[in-house]
Amino acid sequence: MPQNSLNQFGYRDFTLGEFSFRRDEYFAHIEWPGGTHTVPVDKFLKALIRDVAWNFFYGIVNFDEVFGTLNHYGNVDVFAGLYNAGYKAQKKEFVRNFPSDEVRAAFAAILDDWTNEGFDPFAAPEETGSAFGPKRGINPIAVKRKRVTAERMAGLKNDTPLRSDADGHPVNRHFADVNQTEPKVHAEPGFEDEVHAFNFFAYLSRSDVTWNPSVCSVVKDSLTCPTTEEFVLPIIHGNDRVEWFVQLSDEIIWDVSDRETGAPRARVTMKAGDVAAMPADIRHQGFSPKRSMLLVWENADSTLPELYASGKMKPNPVDF
Ligand code: PHB
Ligand code: FE
């Protein structure tokens, strides 16, 4: 809940159950019974906007090594130190469960109030202004941006539209060489609204956000979620299922660690054309030195987290 008064920097303080949140010019400060934590505010807002826009995503969204959320799809654990080996060893972890709506409302209110004019937490650092300083206006267009989610496939009639200069999606500076020609579709009469194809690379070259998988096609539980990446994935994602990655262009380096403890497990450099299956028992964070295109292939089957958690399914889908 927001407190009414503004602090000396012009920002509101917030509480969510026993957690409290305040920001100053550079940092977000989080407090709970038994602990405090400090996060650079640009980093905090970039994680926060994704947690809100993705409705807590699949499994764990670690804002950093200490603070984050665990999605139970309807309710959410908000935690400090729960997936940090040091906190756990000292029994210093703190976790509270809330209805998802309550966390989303609180996080959205923080995001609204703490995001200054000119700072877009979804944008690449080179393409946005500063998050820092005293309160300076608002950025409702950025913080209320809706994640693209196709019903069936982007560009189909009555589905999420393709992108163009005209609707405010110019080709990104790093994708100037991407061919923009659209395929020609010759459908049998009567099937014009059913048969469909589009230039996937052209579509992605016009994405104005980074590290924000959008659902571009849906077949039952199979979701293709492409995204364009630049700089650092602002969360450390703890999987509750396997995720397949297809690197469509350029290069991303992944730090892969144990989901529970954060102990390092692998460094994976994915170059254009590489495919990886990220196991269900890891956390990962990506680094993209220039804007790149990544296809994240998600399985939305709601029975998966329990199958992995109970050990009925192996965390890795293939053995080599
Ligand atoms: C992931 O955690 O798997 C993830 C999240 C956002 C992205 C890419 C991958 O943009
Ligand atoms: Fe992930």
pLDDT tens-place string over residues 76-101 = 999 999 999 999 999 999 999 999 99
197 CA to centre of ligand 1 in angstroms:
25
CA distance 215 to 166: 22
Determine if ligand 1 sits within 6 Å of the CB of residue 250: no
Minimal-distance CA residue to ligand 1 atom 7: 211
Determine if ligand 1 sits within 6 Å of the CB of residue 243: yes
pLDDT for the residue 92 = 98
The residue among 294, 148, 284, 283 whose CA lies nearest residue 211 is 294
pLDDT for the residue 5 = 87
Q: In sequence order, what DSSP letters do the residues of 147-199 get, joined into one string?
A: PPB-SSBTTSTTSPPP--TTTT-PPPGGGTTS--PPPP--PPTT-TTT-----
pLDDT for the residue 320 = 81
pLDDT for the residue 310 = 97
Q: Which residues hold their Cβ within 5 A of ligand 2, which is an ion?
A: 237, 243
The residue among 121, 230, 241 whose CA lies nearest residue 173 is 230
236 CA to centre of ligand 1 in angstroms:
9
Determine if ligand 1 sits within 6 Å of the CB of residue 255: no
pLDDT digits (tens, 9 = 90+) for 21-35: 999 999 999 999 999
Determine if ligand 1 sits within 6 Å of the CB of residue 296: yes
208 CA to centre of ligand 1 in angstroms:
16
Q: What is the pTM of this model?
A: 0.97
Residue 140 DSSP code: H
Determine if ligand 1 sits within 6 Å of the CB of residue 293: no
Q: Which two tokens stand for residue 62?
A: 């670690």
Question: Count of CB atoms within 10 A of residue 15's CB?
Answer: 14
Q: Helices (DSSP H) in the chain: which residue ranges?
A: 41-53, 85-89, 100-114, 140-143, 200-205, 304-309
Residue 70: alpha-carbon gap to chain centroid? 14
Residues of the chain with pLDDT below 50 are none
To test the pocket of ligand 1, the residue of 51, 237, 278 to mutate (highest count of ligand atoms within 8 Å of its CB) is: 237
157 CA to centre of ligand 1 in angstroms:
28
pLDDT for the residue 14 = 98
317 CA to centre of ligand 2 in angstroms:
15
